Amino acid sequence: MTEYIVKILESFYVTHDVKCFIVEKPTGYDFIPGQGTEVSINTSEWKNQMRPFTFTSLREQHHLEFIIKIYRDHNGVTNMLGKTNAGAELILHDVFGAIQYKGKGVFIAGGSGITPFISIFRDLYKKKELHGNKLIYSNKTSEDVIMDFELKNMLKEDYVKLYTRQNVIGFVSRRIDRNYLIENIIDFNQHFYVCGTSDFVKSITGYLIDLGVTSNSLVIED
Ligand SMILES: Cc1cc2nc3c(=O)[nH]c(=O)nc-3n(C[C@H](O)[C@H](O)[C@H](O)COP(=O)(O)OP(=O)(O)OC[C@H]3O[C@@H](n4cnc5c(N)ncnc54)[C@H](O)[C@@H]3O)c2cc1C
């Protein structure tokens, strides 16, 4: 397995627990929007701890970008990435990933599962081919939404947000379930892209198949 040592050029928080990393791009390194790689932190303690993350930059940019949810509740890689900033080094590996654009459809994301879709949307938007795609984006609260402004700007009325929890009196929790999909999807004969936790992907794809979506039209991580 090839290893690429890259320097972090810039890092900043985009929500209370999601951090963006701009890193060097190795010469000749390329990916399809939606794909990612195994990443580790290049220190003696952490370099063997690899975790998968998705590229969110455009493939033609001269740097790579990752948007990473930091879990501060235990001493894992993302907790350490929360304390890792410009000047430090990461180790990248080969590119992999099954999520890529196959044609117009509905993108359904939970939390940090938005990252492969950010990459795909940025690419389509630049090529003026985004119109006709729709995003349904579920988060716990409005504070957890990643890249809200940019998603709204790119997708306009084809951007729908749902919150499962909200610290507001009178808030009605809305989950993506079978009834939600029946009420909000007009055509089940199109592509459906689903990304989030494994439970999220399992339940949403279960509803979609039940509603007539064929496995060929479903785009999910293997
Ligand atoms: C193909 C792919 C692409 C991905 N792309 C991205 C991306 O672009 N951005 C992104 O943010 N994430 C992405 N992920 C998810 C990301 O890989 C994980 O969030 C990351 O591996 C977590 O690493 P960790 O070492 O911090 O946590 P791990 O130790 O690996 O734990 C992962 C999960 O278990 C929980 N957990 C484990 N142990 C404990 C404990 N002791 N106490 C409390 N909770 C615990 C954590 O809360 C977390 O939900 C991707 C995943 C895959 C499979």
Ligand 1 atom having least distance to the Cα of 56:
8
Measured distance CA(20)–CA(170) in Å, rounded: 33
Number of domains in the chain: 2
Rounded to 5 degrees, what are φ and ψ at 50? -95, 140
Q: Assess whether 45 and 135 both reside in one domain.
A: no
pLDDT of residue 166: 75
Q: What is the mean pLDDT of the chain?
A: 95
* pLDDT tens, position by position, 201-213: 999 999 999 999 9
First to last CA, the chain: 20
Rounded to 5 degrees, what are φ and ψ at 177? -125, -175
Q: Is the pLDDT of residue 172 over 70?
A: no
CATH number at residue 139: 3.40.50.80
115-126 and 148-155 helices, crossing angle to 10°? 40
* pLDDT tens, position by position, 181-203: 999 999 999 999 999 999 999 99
Q: Is the pLDDT of residue 137 over 80?
A: yes
Mutate which of 40, 50, 53 for ligand 1? The one with the most ligand atoms within 8 Å of its CB, which is 53
Which are the contacts of 93, defined by CB distance < 8 A and separation ≥ 6? 1, 2, 3, 4, 37, 38, 39, 50
CATH number at residue 77: 2.40.30.10
Among the candidates 96, 122, 148, a domain finishes at 96
Does the Cβ of 194 fall within 6 Å of ligand 1? no
Q: Work out the angle at residue 53's Cα, subtended by the Cα atoms of residues 10 and 37, and round it to the nearest 5 degrees.
A: 105
Q: Can you give the residue range of the structural domain that contains 151?
A: 105-219
Measured distance CA(58)–CA(196) in Å, rounded: 21
Compute the radius of gyration of the chain from its Cα atoms. Answer: 18
